[in-house]
Amino acid sequence: MDIQTTKQPGQDWVEVGYILRPHGVRGELRVILHAPEEGFPKTIKSVRLVHPKHGEQSANVDSARKTKDAVLMCLDSIKGRDDAQRWKGSAIFVEASHLPPPEQGYHVYELVGAKVASVDGAALGEVAGFMDNSAHLLLRISNQGKELLFPYVEEFVHSYERDSDTLVVTIPDGLWEDEEAES
């Protein structure tokens, strides 16, 4: 599943996930978070839905509960399965100020647009977004028109340098050997 995140300087709302599909008949939503390991914080009381066909809608969060692979969410403005189906595929935005402080010093959404460099200083491109492969997130790195996928796991992510907006990574042996052989 391809994940597009949004990072715009000075923006008060950030994208944290999307509506995968309705769940049940009462309007509950199955939501996929961009950073599932962070969960859906209880501090978030309202969201903004953005759909390419239906526009935007603000809603209060009535409930949000974690399942093994998603969050089941009820919003005050969505009544019934048909209404939930209408908003399928919508991006979910929350106010950045309502997010709790991140454990690693940055939120995952902040990485979109950041430069990526190896620990030895080699420029690898910039973060275009994320992809979820069920095991963990993959960084989508844009590099001169090519896309590289990188495992976003603690073992390979060295640091995020906010001042230079650079994610520093350790490249696992053999990660991109197939791409290099094709060139």
What is the maximal distance between C-alpha atoms in the chain? 54
Tell me the CATH architecture of domain 113-178.
Roll (2.30)
Task: For 92-126, write each residue's pLDDT tens digit.
Answer: 999 888 888 877 788 887 888 899 999 999 999 99
Superfamily for domain range 2-98: RimM (2.40.30.60)
- Kindly report the pTM of this predicted structure: 0.66
Specify the higher pLDDT residue, 174 or 73.
Answer: 73
pLDDT digits (tens, 9 = 90+) for 149-169: 999 988 999 999 999 999 999
CA proximity to 3, closest of 29, 32, 41, 23:
32
* CA nearest neighbour of 142 among 150, 134, 152: 150
Domain boundaries, the chain: 2-98, 113-178
Q: Give the confidence band of 9 by pLDDT, cuts at 50, 70, 90.
A: very low
Task: Give the Cα separation of 17 and 92 in Å (integer).
Answer: 5
What mean pLDDT, rounded, does the chain reach? 85
- Please state the three-class secondary structure of 13-59 as a single string: EEEEEEEEEEECCCCEEEEEECCHHHCCCCCCCEEEEEECCCEEEEE
DSSP state of 10: T
